[in-house]
Every structure is written in structure tokens, then in C-alpha cells.
Amino acid sequence: MKKQIKYIVSFCLGLVMVTSCKRELLSPIPQTSITDATAFDTPARIANQVNSLYAAFKTGNFYGGRAQVAGDIRAEDFLNETTNLVTGADVWQLNATGTSQNFVKNLWAAAYSTINLCNLFIDGMAAKGTSVVGATLSNNYLGEASLVRAASYLKLLEHYARPFADGNGSKPGVPLRLTGIKASGSSDLARSTVAEVYTQIIKDLDFAEANLPLTYSTPALNTTRAHKNTAIALKTRVYMAMQDYTKVITEGNKLAPQATAPFSATTGVAHALQANIATVFASPYTTTESILSMPMTSTAGDNPGTQNQLGYYFVQNGSSLGSAEFSLNPSGILGNASWTATDARKTALVFTNATNSKKFVAKYKTGSPYTDYAPVIRYSEVLLNLAEALARTNAGVNAKALALLNAVRQRSDAATILAPADQAALINAILLERRIELLGEGLRNFDLMRLLQTIPAKGTITAKAPTEQGYIWPISADELSLNKLMTDN
Amino acid sequence: MRKQLLLLSGFVLCSIIALAQRTITGKITDDKGSPVANASVVIKGTNTGTSSKVDGSYSLTVPANAKALVFSSVNMNTVERPLGTSDVVDASLTINAVEIQEVVVTGYGTQRKKEVSGNIATVKGAKLANNPVQSFEQALAGRATGVQITVPNGVLNTPPVFRIRGTNSISLSSYPLIVVDGVPSPTGDFSSTSAAGNALASINPNDIESIDIAKDAAATAIYGSRAANGVVFITTKKGKPGKAKVSFNTTASWTSPYGIPEVLNAQQYTDYKNAAAANNQNVNSTNPAGSGYTKFALANDANGNPIDTKWADYVYRTGFSQDYNMNVSGGNDNTTYYFSAGFSDQQGILKKNDFIRKNILFNVDSRVNNFLTVGGKISYSNELNQAASSSGSLSGEAFGTAGFGRTVMVNAPNVSPYNNDGTYNISPNNVVGPMNNSLAQVGFYNPVVLLDNNRQNAETNHMQSFVYAQIKPVKWFAFKSIYAIDYLFVDNETFLTPLHGDGFASTGSASSTLGKYKRWTWTNTGQFDYTFASRHTVNALIGTEQDRRTSVGFGLNRQTLSDPAFTVLQAGWVTPNTSGLVYGENYLLSEFGRFNYDFDKKYYLTGNIRKDEYSAFASKASTFWGAGAGWEIAKENFWDKLGLNDIFNSFRIRGSYGKVGNTAGIGDYVIYSSYGSGLYGGNSTLAFNFAGNPNLQWETSTKIDVGVNFSMFKDKLQIEATRYYNDIKDLILNVPQSPSAGVPNAIPTNVGSMYNKGWEFGITGNPLRGKNFSWTSTLNITTNTNEVTALAPGLTEILSATSGLETVSRTAVGYSLGYLWLVKNGGVDPATGSRILLNKAGAPVLYRFAPNAALGQFQWSNPDGTQYKENGVAATVTQAKDGVMYGNTSPKVFGGWDNTFRYKNFDLNVLLTYQFGFYVYYGSNAGLHDQRFWNNAKDVLTAWKKPGDVTTVPRPVYLDNVSNGSGLPMSYNAFKGDFVKVKNVTLSYNLPTKFTSKGKISSARIFVSGQNLAIITDYPGPDPEVSSNGNGNTNQGIDRNTIANGRTILVGLNLSF
């Protein structure tokens, strides 16, 4: 009996100690993501990463919606219909603070998150990716990464740094980050000057122009992925910001070499104005006029998300049109006599709410989940950039500048032929045309900033001179708190 | 069962029939003379016996050689009576001095309470039963030392803020580990809708026998890496040998809201807002003040009467709840069982906020033979958590425009939820229609539309079951193997109408997601119990445990309703999208051991050790331990000689020390840096989306605990006093990188440290103990001091926002967690009516909204009216620059005072709970004084009107959202939260046996109780017991748009057969 007990006890003890455990469960492998070490292992993963750079660029807090919204609502052409801070009431009132989450903090974070992805991609291609996909494709991809990075820095400069015109770029710009960050320890970085950041932007866009493909296989890809002409087009905008009009002309002429209308790009993607501007903003959104647009689908995560959508801000925040966050200011461009009632941009792209007679930009009319593409740059902007550069650098009324201006005007308003009397009138006409043509595409604030103009009064909000606090945004409070080398505006 | 008993007794009878025998009868009573049913009567030295009937009588046939009978019953002293010549033997059993037999659960076993060196508080299940709560923890407030419970809001089934000895983590969970019948249980809110779904609601409070709360290292270290927040052992009821006992419990209760902030009526609102508009020269430039400016205007209803809407009346209600519970328990000497079924249908104070639970529980234990015992448990619970829409009270909801708590405060009273034609009053821009007000917006959503049309439900199916076998080959050794499952399936279902509200923008939205949280646990233990040389008692435990959890979730979200008649996901919709995708797995592999030794029941030693290997970490294993010692001085001879025995019948000194860990809430894959998938225009993407930390490790807590427990005057007075100290190191902080670094997440890193220390006092006494009248009282007091001692290098603060929008909680070195960080106020300037703020230097700065530059006014000015400047430059007061660390949010003292008065058959229980020494940020108060279209609290009627007015409410200027603290968090809205609550009062009456016995009822009790009957506090909001951020560690003490707790009146009946 004693022996038996001993056996039983040892058996039980043995059971306790060697209970069959499953040690392999201690090292689970993530099933829904790819580990860091293998992200550049296959051509498909690399191709997907290229898409992710654009996907970051098009998040709702950036070029999926809020970047354009911020560019419009700071200026005078819109009135705030709600007093909602989440949808930019403070941005509109020109009193957004550094702790303001919805635009000041989020746009800063979204831009840098895009930049870091570009940097990680560029680093990863050098380390491994190029050998996986080959030099040619690698350079195409690197061109895309450079372009996305450049466009992101450009938007950052517009809101968080003094315009280039203020001291020729000598004022504090933004931290210039060019290497990918995956771990702690890189929080601190001082601001480069505005000029230094612009230099990098130009460098990136030059690289992109040199390495991007001329075209892609489909109109959709030509609209949503960067190609050579995308880089050129963006350069016209960058040089406008730097007031380097000679360079604008050089780049602009690459895309509109003709002396008179019709204008079109003769190499690469054949960018040209569409006969009817409404088609540019209608499905499939992939005309040659749209040089770069952010594509949207109804799949969750592939559209801007709640309270970020252009349509939500400008025309409808529900099923009925005319219920948006921002209406058109009757004393803004809407009330300008030069914008005729028969202009297609007014008849087709402005919506009137029958109940309260308020008017709204109707470029983005597709309701929830808001799948209208978000424009980044259009051919008509390039034409107007070129026109303005020509107008500013040539005395009198420059013929090509006027031709470019009228090409844009007459496409939508055939009855009107603009005929400014002198250089100043020509420049003003071009600036006015930009407000009409690019309304709701986020360019108005850019135009005010680059020219160091006062932000005009609107509704209950007083004007903001370039010397006043709040002319540009403050720096994100999070950045100031976590980046010891950062300084506020 | 009865049949078996019959058979069994038949067998017993047969086996002894051959011997000479006689039949003994008698009656068993307690010390009051009441009959004791189900008492056991056994012939001494045999297993032969019977149990008493309802009237206490018994009858037992005994052999001639039987010498004595042994009488025993649960919770009563065992009595032995010699058998003489008489055939009638009565016995009187006295109730045990409670703790002699009292055992506590210590993890993988039990121990006599007196022998425990660790710090374990016990709460009897009876204290928690028949309460108007959804889960037991809600009723735990004030019941045990060291335990702080805050019921955060009045939404049904919200997990309470549950803290043992302070908040012990920053980024991970501070919720204690809950172990139900030996098996760890999930905790937290498993609902992803606006109806809260506390996982612990699956345990019917009526099924709980006892709760043991382990606090120090000696008591908790057996749970190693999960013990830092304390361990709560739940023991469900089991059957007792004897005749089957049936209990039936039912309650009905009515819960009503209290403390809803009083807002202006329609006339007051209209006048006040017009005056405010007149004060804003920007909106009023065309209609100067005093010229009959009417931005706001009354409207009439269909009968021509002015509309005066009390929005709260449309949202709140008196909720009616009913609860039924039936259980059957019993068994014989070898097998016992407990079967229970419960049904609870509860209504919250918010319309359509309901909780319906159906649950069953079956416990069985069977001794197969002299060395094998098997048993198990089957528990199934179905809970339906229902809400129409967001209450604004759950974590993350505070600033939602749908939140009912908020809309009733904000919406203008001069508009109605209905138009005069009976249709909903809603405007095209998705807010309540402005009616005669000449504004586009005078409110948020129309709550009536949401109440009528929306749905936010979460249905939980929760199975908690196990099977075990125990082999006890010798007296001193037992081997036990338990295999348990815990399957929690939650089905979230929402519908948002396209008419109005959150579903408006998407033209309707419906979601269904299923979350499957499965766990199995297999535990094997060997237990040694040995006493040698009669005075040395050793017991030791060794064991292994595997704990495997998987979580899988998936679902569908569909938007743009194709037909207004549809309200379910399966109907016609335009957009299908995935929703609620979850995938996770983890595995904990452990080996553990315990060693207890005592010498002569005088000196006690205990040691626990556990090695845990956890899948979420790269370096898998770590070892945790705890050791304790106790000394029962009252057993020493000198104690007796000193004559102290007459005063102190027990006097124990104990202490413990050890190191335990915390992993609760850590992600399954945090060590990996990874790339995740997304979409770009329909094409797949792959982007760096998580920066992991391969060096991540457990948070560790070093706990010290020293205390005394003593009993005086024969246990009439029992006192415990404990000093505790918990030093937490390697706190995992999600260290944020500067946004310009572009890293997708704050990187989890073991960097922080903090401590919690304090005292615990528990005093239990029977000041009065008479035959007819008695008073038992337990007072418990816990103090806690929390201080963060280190954050990450370069990280000076952790700012924690409320619902991502309002940041008033700042965690910094040298302060307790989540300190209020506010700009200080200096009242209202009598000359101008401007809000006075104090800058960093303490100098007053006046704020004027919409200043008139032409009159030389400035937005920010010095008291003399000149522009406020810093370093010669025009400046503003900001929180970042001028905010100060204003006050702590974690209470410094908390506890409860529990009193039971008994007079004859009446019982009166009164529980007071209290928390002292903390601040609450009453964010709702900022909203209640916002000068946009928002409705305001009544006190705005005392606002500044003319120079010289001394008031606390500044001059109203339409659109001003700074002076009230919305745009700039200020101390004006921070209040001391100290409170004493009459948490529970229960009066019960036990029906006399002469009535009950007629109905063959062994006992009947009727009772009436009230909950949250009164609060003594200076806090101006509805209830200082509140948390807008749920169980958040670093953002407690915020009351922002929250639905407060309700007040409940309950009647109930308990019957036993």
C-alpha cells in the first residue's frame, strides 16, 4: 500500500510539472500585418508601399479634404454656417491656437506622417528595395516619393511659416526631415529656414521630373499617381510661392508651350482644359485636366472620413445639398460682378439652397460616403500660374498671359472676353480668375500668403494684416512640447 | 435527488438493521430557540446520520452501541451529545463567532482567515445581493478597506472605476484581476456601442457566496505578472449536504435621475441671449443695443401657447426594474450541487437604456471515493444592453453632439422637438430647427428623433465553465487539475436613422459586429498539508497553468439607406464596409508555488513565487514573488501574564514584501514594428503603421505592507490597521514622439515610475448585542497618496484629453496622476464685467469677447484697461503658458461605514460611502455658461449688468466661449468633490416562523431599500462620483456632459423552502 501511494504521488507530481504546454503559442506571428524586416522583400510589397505614400497624403486631415478646406476657409470667400470648432470655426475666425486639434495639430501631424513614410521608403529602397525591383522602376518609385514629400512640405510652409516674400525665405521654416524614423530618439530638430525648405522642395521635384515616367497605362493612374508633368506642374506652384516668376515661366512653358489657345501639354500626359468644367468634377474624375487628384471609393478608409470631406464642408453634410459647414460669402468672389451669371462655374458648380437662398460650392456633390476625388493640382491652375508669371515679368498686357487667362475664362464663360487695360489690371484679372476657377480647391489662402496680402474681413471677422499675430498658424502645441528645438510662430 | 437520498438512507438502514437498535428523535434549535433546518446529525465515529427537517426535528435509528450524536450545521458550532437512556435528544447550536471557521480564497486554494499573512479583505455575497446593480463591483463601494469604487455615470452596466489602493498604472489597465471560482475572468466594457457592456455583469450578484480581495504582495504574488492591481476572488455559491434547499428572490425597483442641472426657461433664454447678442458689437452692428434687437424669439405651439421645452423631460425617465432569481441547492455527504437561474430586466434613467440578463449557473462537486473528487461548473449568461443613442457619458463620448446628457443642457428651450404639424422639428443642417430664432442653429440634435429611431445595442453571450478532478491519495497530498473556458461573444448592433443625427451625413447607417473573446485555462496543482510534531504546520503548493486567449471580431457597416422603411442591416443599403475587425492571440505559461508554515498557530510564514512567460514580450519570462510573516502575540504566555488577554483576545502583527507585475491591456503584438494594409483609390497599400518595442517588459510593483489585526473584548471589537506602500517601476508609457518625427504611434517603453502609499483602517464592532436588539458596525478608512516620480527622459508631462477635445488632466513628475491643469480665475471685474484670469505670475488679466477697438477696448487687458502685454508684446493668456497644477483628482481618503441594526425580526442596514480630498473638473459647467446659442444654467440670471455689480457670472457676450472656460480651461469650473453618500439603506423584515411554517416555507424576508438616497457635498454638479473618461488612469475626476447616477427605491422578497 505504501508503495502504491508513492507511485500515485509521484505520478501526480509528474503531471503537475510536465503538463503538456504549447510553447509555440508563446511566439505568435502577427496575422494582419507585415513585419518591418520583410516589408521590402517582394516587388508587390514595394508597389503597395508606393501607394501608401499617396494614401497618407490623401488622409482626411491632409489632401483628402482638410488641407484644401484650410486653404479656402481662412480667406474671404466663405462664411461659417456652424460655430463648430471641429469643422474649422477657429480657422475661419483666424484665431486657431496651437492646441487646436482639428486643423493646427492634425494637419501638421498628417503632413509629417506622410513625409516620414516617404523618407522610410527612400531609405528602404536604398537598403534593399532597389535590388528587388531593379533600377528603372526604383527610380520611378523614388520620384513619386520625392514628389509626395515635396508637396507635403509645400503645404506645411503655407500654414506654419512666414511667406517666402517676407524676408526672401529668411524666416523660420519647418523642421526638414529627410531620413525615416521608426523608433524613439529623434524628436528634437530645429526649424530650417523657409528658403532651405524650398530648396529641398525644388530638389525633390527636379529629381521627380527626371525620374518619373512620362505616362501610366490608364487615365486613372495618370490622375492619381505622379508622372513627369505632375512634377512640372507642382514646380509652377512652388515657384509662384517663391515669386520666382522666371522659373514659373520655364516650367509652365513645358506644359503649355503654345503661344495661343488651345493650350495643352505636348509631352507626357496630354494635359488640356476640358470643354466643360463640370466634367472635371464628375465621375470618373480622370480627365487630362486633373493633373493630380486624390481618388476616393466608398470602401471605408478609402475616403476622407467623418467631417473631413470637401463636400461636407462646402455643399452638404447630409443627404440634402445646401446644408454645409461653409456657405459662399455674398460679399466674396460670389458677389464680384466680373463673375457672370451665365458662367458655367456658377451655373454648374454653385448650388443655391432654395430655403434660405444661401449658395454653396458644388464641385463635390456626391453625398455620403463622399467619393468625389479631391483635387491637388489642375491644368487650369498651371495656365493661370504661367499667365501671372508672364504678366508680372512683362510690361504692358502680355499677349500669352492674356491668352492663357481667356482660355480659362472662356471655357466656362464664352461670352466674356477679358481685356485688361494694363499690366496691373491684367495681374488683377488673373488673380480674380484664380478665385473663380479654383474656388473650393484650397488655393485662396496660398494666393494671399505668397503675395503677403492682408486676409480680408468677412462676416463678423475682421481683416488680418500680414504683421498681425494669426496671419499664419501657430505651431502645433504637441510639437512645441516634444521637440525641444522647436520654436513657435 | 430526493430519490437518491431515499435510496441512500435505505441502504444505510439495511446495513445496520441486523444490529440491535433504537430510534432517537429530537429537535435542533439555535441559541434563540428557532429551529435549525438541514442540520446534520451523525452517530459519533460513523458516517451514519440524517439531517433535520424544516421544523428542526430529526429522527435517527442508532445501533445499541452508539455512544453519542454529533450535531452540526453551517456557520454553527458543532455540538456533541452523549446517548443515555432517553430516546429524545435535543440540541442547541450556537452561531459561530464568525471568523473562527472563516476561510478566505488565496488563489489555488483557501486558508483560514486567521492564518493568512497577506492582506485580504472579504465581503460576503449577501451584502451584494438584491442591489439594483448590473454587476457586483458596483455594489462594492465602501465595503472593504483599500477598495475604491466610483460608479462613473447613470448608464446601465458601465464598468465602475475599480481601484485597489490607488491607481497603479498609467498606460495599462488599473483594474484588478478578477478570478471567478479559480478562473481569471475578462473585465471591462466589451460593447462597442453606446450601451455599456461590462463583462462582469455575467455574474449574477445573487450567486456570489463571497468576495476576497487580495491587496499586498504576499496575497497576490501567486498571480505574478497580473497581480499589481490586486486580485479579486469571486466564489459562487455551492450546495451543502442535506435536504434540497430552494430559494426564491425577487426585487422591483424604480430609479430616477437627480441633480439634473437647471437651465433657463424659454422666456429667460430668449431675453438673456438677446441681451448677450446686444453686447456683441460684431453681430449687433446693424442693430445697436437697446433698439429691440431680436436674434432670439419665442415661438408658439399649435394651441397658440408659447413653447417652453424642458428637454430633460424628453430624455430622462423613472426606470422600472425587476429581478428574479431562483436557486436549488443541496446534496448528500458525497455530492453537492447548486443550481440557479436569474432574470433581470432593468431600465435606466435614460429612455431606452435597458439591461436584460438571463443567466443560469450550475455547480456540482462529487466525492467519488476516498481519494477522488470531481466536479465543475456551468455558467451561461445572456445580457442585452440597449440604448437608443449616445448618452455622452461613456469614455470618449463627452463631446459627441448626439449625447443626450449634453443636448438637454444645450438645446434652446424656446423651440420644440415637434413642429406644430406634429412632424419632427429638424433643420436641413442636421440640428434641431431654430423656429422663430433668427439663427441657423439653436441646439444640437433633436434628441426625440434619436430616441424614436436609433438603436445602439450590444448582446453578450458569456459562458464560464470548468471541470476538475482532484486526487488525494494520502491525507497530506492532493493533486488537482482544472480545465476552464471563458467564452464571451458580443454582438453589437446599431442603427442610425438618416432623418437626423449621426446617421444624417451618411444617409443612414447600420452596423453589426461580432466579437468573439475566447479563453481556456488549464491549471494543475499539487497541494501538501502536513503537521508534524503537532505544532509545526506546513502546507505547500506547486502548480502550472496555461492561459490562452484569442480574440476575433468582424462585422459590417452599411450606409445610405435605400428605403426609409428599412431599419436593419440586412435590408437595402448602398455601401457595405467592414467594421469591428479584431484579431489577437496571447498565451501565458506559468509555474508557481506557495509555502505556508506556522508554528503553534503563533508564528506564520508564507512565500509565493510565480514564473510567468507571456507571448506579448520578446524576452518571455519573468519571476515574481511575495513573502509575508505574521505573529499572533495573544498566544504568547507573556500576553496572558500581562493580563492583556482580557482585553485583546487576538493580536496579530503581520508584514509582507514582494514584487508583482502588470500586463493588463498590453497589445498582443507590441514588440513588432509592422506595416499594415490600406487602400488608395481601390488599390492596396502597405504602410509603416506601428513602431514596436522589442525590449518591452512587465511593469513591476514592489509592495510593502505592515499591519496589525486585533480583536478586543471577545471579538466584540475588531480592528485592523495597515500601512501600505507600492513602488511601481518600469511603467509602460506610450512615449509620444514629436509629431514632426512622423512616427505613427507613441512607442510603448518601460520608463515611468510612481508610488501609492497610505493607511487602511477597518473597525468592526458590535456596540449593542442584545437578545432583541443588536447593532453591528463596520467603518473602513483608506488613505492614499499617489505621486509620479519619473516619466520618460525628455517627457515632462502627459496631457490627457477628455474625449480627445478638452485637456485639463496633466500628469507630471511630483504630482498625482491626472492633476487638474487650469488657468486660475480671479472672479469677475466689477467695472467691466469681464472675466479675470490670472497669468503665470498671478497677475490679473481681463478677457473681453468682441472688443470694440473704436472704444479702445482690448480682448486681453490689464485691470486698468490697457492692452495686456508680455515682454512689451501684445499677448494672450493660454493654458500652455499660464496654466497651473490646480488640484488632485484622486481622493486622498475614501471608504464606507456599514451599519446593521437588528430589532427582533427587523433588520436595518445603512451604508454610507465617502471620498475626501479631491477635485472634480465640472466641465459641464463650462457648457452651461457658454455664450453661443447654448442654453445656460439658471445662475446666469445673476450675471454682471452694470458697473459696480459684484457677481460670479461675467457680462454675457453672444458667441463668447472663452469667459466660461470652454475655450480656455479655467479653475472657475473646478470644485472640491468631497462627499458622503447614503449609498444604501435597507429595511427588512423576517416573517416569523409561525407564519412561514404554515406555508412550508423555512424563511421569508421582505425588504425595502434605497440607493443613493442623499449626498452631502459642496459639489455643484449632479454627483461628484463621476468619471467622463471611464476607467482612464490619467484623466479621472472629469464631469463633462455626463448622465449622473440615479436614485433607486427597491422592494424585494426572499423566500427559502
pLDDT tens, position by position, B102-118: 788 888 988 888 788 88
Cross-chain CB nearest to A476 (options B504, B739, B804):
B739
Q: Which helix (H) or strand (E) holds B278?
A: helix B266-278
pLDDT at B646: 82
In this structure, what C-alpha cell is assigned to residue A455? 486676409
Q: What is the mean pLDDT of residues B607-614?
A: 96
Chain B residues close to A182, C-beta within 8 Å: 673, 688, 691, 743
In this structure, what C-alpha cell is assigned to residue B304? 397658440
DSSP 8-state class, residue B159: P
* Contact call for A35 and B794, based on CB within 8 A: no
Q: Can you give the C-alpha Rg of chain B in angstroms? A: 32
Shortest CA gap B814–chain A (Å): 18
Cross-chain CB nearest to B428 (options A99, A182, A323):
A323
Residues B570 and B572: their CA atoms lie apart, in Å, by: 7
pLDDT tens, position by position, A228-287: 999 999 999 999 999 999 999 999 999 999 999 999 999 999 999 999 999 999 999 999
The residue that leads in pLDDT, B980 or B804, is B980
pLDDT tens, position by position, A82-118: 888 889 999 999 988 888 888 999 999 999 999 999 9
* Contact call for A369 and B794, based on CB within 8 A: no
pLDDT at B12: 37
pLDDT tens, position by position, B818-869: 999 999 999 999 999 999 999 999 999 999 998 888 888 999 999 999 999 9
pLDDT tens, position by position, A351-409: 998 888 899 999 999 988 899 999 999 999 999 999 999 999 999 999 999 999 999 99
Omega before B63 within 30 of 0, i.e. cis:
no
Residue found under cell 479702445: B856
Q: What is the mean pLDDT of residues B553-558?
A: 96
Q: Which residues contact A392 (CB under 8 A, 6 or more apart)?
A: A245, A423, A427
Cross-chain CB nearest to A48 (options B673, B674, B685):
B685
* Contact call for B740 and A108, based on CB within 8 A: yes
The complex's ipTM works out to 0.94
Chain A residues close to B796, C-beta within 8 Å: 481
Q: Can you give the C-alpha Rg of chain A in angstroms? A: 26
In this structure, what C-alpha cell is assigned to residue B709? 489585526
- State the count of interchain CB pairs (< 8 A) between A and B: 284
pLDDT at B294: 67
Chain A residues close to B684, C-beta within 8 Å: 48, 51
Residues B167 and B1035: their CA atoms lie apart, in Å, by: 11
pLDDT at B291: 43
Residues B12 and B520: their CA atoms lie apart, in Å, by: 42
Sheet of B674-680, strands arranged across: A34-35, B674-680, B683-690
Residues B93 and B96: their CA atoms lie apart, in Å, by: 9
Shortest CA gap B575–chain A (Å): 7
Residues B525 and B592: their CA atoms lie apart, in Å, by: 9
For the cut 70, the answer to whether the pLDDT of residue B4 exceeds it is no
For the cut 80, the answer to whether the pLDDT of residue B35 exceeds it is no
pLDDT tens, position by position, A297-339: 988 889 999 899 999 999 987 667 888 899 999 999 999 999 9
DSSP 8-state class, residue B1045: P
Chain A residues close to B526, C-beta within 8 Å: 12-13, 16
pLDDT at B631: 93
Q: Is B28 left (phi over 0), alpha (psi -120 to 50) or beta?
A: beta
Q: Answer whether B1030's CB lies under 8 Å from B393's CB.
A: no
Closest B-chain CA to A356: B440
What is the residue-averaged pLDDT of chain A?
93
Band of pLDDT at residue B287, cut at 50, 70 and 90: very low
Helix (H, G, I), strand (E, B) or coil at B309: coil
Helix (H, G, I), strand (E, B) or coil at B1010: strand
Q: How far is CA A9 from CA A464, B350, B1006, in A?
A: 87, 60, 52
pLDDT at B2: 42
Q: Answer whether A173's CB lies under 8 Å from A193's CB.
A: yes
Closest B-chain CA to A96: B967
In this structure, what C-alpha cell is assigned to residue A92? 475661419
Q: Which residues contact A278 (CB under 8 A, 6 or more apart)?
A: A344, A348, A349
* Contact call for B739 and A477, based on CB within 8 A: no
Candidates B441, B483, B740, partner chain A, best to mutate (most A CBs within 10 A): B740
Residues B406 and B350: their CA atoms lie apart, in Å, by: 13
* Contact call for A319 and B583, based on CB within 8 A: no
Handedness of CA A214, A216, A222, A224 (dihedral sign): negative
pLDDT at B99: 39
Shortest CA gap A300–chain B (Å): 6
Closest B-chain CA to A18: B544
pLDDT tens, position by position, A195-229: 999 999 999 999 999 999 999 999 999 999 999 99
DSSP 8-state class, residue B223: G
Buried b (16+ CB within 10 A) or exposed e, A245-256: bebbbbbbbbbb
For the cut 60, the answer to whether the pLDDT of residue B14 exceeds it is no
pLDDT tens, position by position, B863-902: 999 999 988 888 889 888 899 999 999 999 999 999 999 9
SS (H, E, C) A151-180: HHHHHHHHHHCCCCCCCCCCCECCCCCCCC
* Contact call for B477 and A9, based on CB within 8 A: yes
Bridge partner residues of B46 (DSSP): none
Residues B535 and B513: their CA atoms lie apart, in Å, by: 61
Residues A215 and B391: their CA atoms lie apart, in Å, by: 53
Omega before B992 within 30 of 0, i.e. cis:
no
pLDDT tens, position by position, B900-913: 999 989 999 999 99
pLDDT tens, position by position, B652-670: 999 999 999 999 989 999 9
Q: Which amino acid makes up residue B119?
A: N
SS (H, E, C) chain A: CHHHHHHHHHHHHHHHHHCCCCHHHHCCCCCCCEEHHHCCCCHHHHHHHHHHHHHHHCCCCCCCCHHHHHHHHCCCCEEECCCCHHHCHHHHCCCCCCCCHHHHHHHHHHHHHHHHHHHHHHHHHHHHHHHHHCHHHHHHHHHHHHHHHHHHHHHHHHHHCCCCCCCCCCCECCCCCCCCCCCCCCCCCCCCEHHHHHHHHHHHHHHHHHHCCCCCCCHHHHHHCCCHHHHHHHHHHHHHHCCCHHHHHHHHHHHCCCCCCCCECCCCCCCECCCCHHHHCCCCCCCCCEEEEECCCCCCCCCCCCCCCHHHHHCCCCCCCCCCCEEECCCCHHHCCCCCCCCHHHHCCEEECCCCCCEEECCCCCCCCCCCCEEEEEHHHHHHHHHHHHHHHCCCCCHHHHHHHHHHHHHHCCCCCCCCCCHHHHHHHHHHHHHHHCCCCCCHHHHHHHCCCCECCECCECCECCCCCCCCCCCCHHHHHHCCCCCCC
Q: Which amino acid makes up residue A202?
A: I
Q: What is the mean pLDDT of residues B666-694?
A: 95
Residues B832 and B826: their CA atoms lie apart, in Å, by: 14
pLDDT tens, position by position, B962-1005: 999 988 999 999 999 999 999 999 999 999 888 877 778 888 99
Q: Answer whether B217's CB lies under 8 Å from B110's CB.
A: no
Question: With 0-12 CB in 10 A as exposed, 13-18 as middle and 19+ as buried, what is B552?
Answer: middle
Handedness of CA B197, B203, B204, B206 (dihedral sign): negative
* Contact call for B740 and A323, based on CB within 8 A: no
Bridge partner residues of B422 (DSSP): none
* Contact call for A299 and B679, based on CB within 8 A: yes
* Contact call for A22 and B743, based on CB within 8 A: no
Question: With 0-12 CB in 10 A as exposed, 13-18 as middle and 19+ as buried, what is B900?
Answer: middle
Shortest CA gap B801–chain A (Å): 11
Shortest CA gap B788–chain A (Å): 19
Band of pLDDT at residue B7, cut at 50, 70 and 90: very low
Q: Answer whether A99's CB lies under 8 Å from A343's CB.
A: no
* Contact call for B738 and A34, based on CB within 8 A: no
Chain B residues close to A32, C-beta within 8 Å: 581, 583, 676-677
Torsion, CA B1036, CA B1038, CA B1042, CA B1043, rounded to 10: 60
Q: Which of B761, B759, B808, B758 is nearest to B786 (CA)?
A: B758
What is the residue-averaged pLDDT of chain B?
91
pLDDT at A201: 98
Residues B604 and A149: their CA atoms lie apart, in Å, by: 69
For the cut 90, the answer to whether the pLDDT of residue B475 exceeds it is no
CA terminus-to-terminus distance, chain B: 15
